[in-house]
Amino acid sequence: MELKALIFDVDGTLAETEEVHRQAFNETFAARGIDWCWSKDDYRTLLRTTGGKERMAKHRENVGYGPTDSEIAELHKAKTKRYVEIIASGQVDLLPGVADLIDRAQAVGLRIAIATTTTRANVDALIAATFRRPPEAIFEVIAAGDEVARKKPAPDVYLLALKSLDLPPEACIAFEDSRAGLASAKAAGLRVVLTPSEYTRGDDFSAADWLIPDLSAAATKEIPELP
């Protein structure tokens, strides 16, 4: 089937944002007097749990103490606010090849979408800070983690993106950086381009259709369907 759309994950795929998430979590914990401080190794392990609130609950389970579920929900709101502030300050750039691939895809009439576990506020902040354009000017569909019942590795967010595009999975290619994202996209029936990120390098991505270092033109030439 002819390729009609590209569907992108966000964190680790469009930009290396996980360190900003970790910083925002740790600053939020400190501001609220919570004795948690996640190292890079801690966060690498916690990233196996998708979703910020879920990640905090997992850490609470691991250490045996911490905020209640309702307090975690409030912490997550504060963390999101801090993340948006950091992103808006311009500290993060798009990963190599991302902007060029999207420009080339739009030039040949491909539709562009997002399917992410992160919240819509985080997506909007990153797009505004990196593309310098409104999200809707680039991405026809933005399916975010706060819009679905189950987060990655469940297929829900990709199924939502496909429904919004009104396209079958065979007409789309997904772009991911993690095992959870890969599993989510494959469960939705999509072919997947996997570009490992800082926190996922070395993981098993044998289920990916294409495994490439980045989205530069030199790397994506391995995928004949891409412009």
Task: Tell me how far apart the alpha carbons of residues 215 and 24 are, in angstroms, rounded to a whole number.
Answer: 27
Reply yes or no on whether 11 is catalytic. yes
b (16+ CB within 10 A) / e for 197-207: bebbeebebee
Reply yes or no on whether 214 is catalytic. no
Task: Tell me how far apart the alpha carbons of residues 199 and 49 are, in angstroms, rounded to a whole number.
Answer: 13
**Cα-flanking dihedrals φ and ψ of residue 57, to 5°?**
-65, -40
Torsion of CA 32, 64, 42, 95, to 10 degrees: -60
Number of H helices, E strands in the chain: 9, 6
Out of 11, 41, 42, 69, the active site residue is: 11
- Contact between residue 122 and residue 10 where contact means Cβ atoms under 8 Å apart: yes
- Beta bridge partner(s), residue 4: none
Catalytic residues, which ones?
Answer: 9, 11
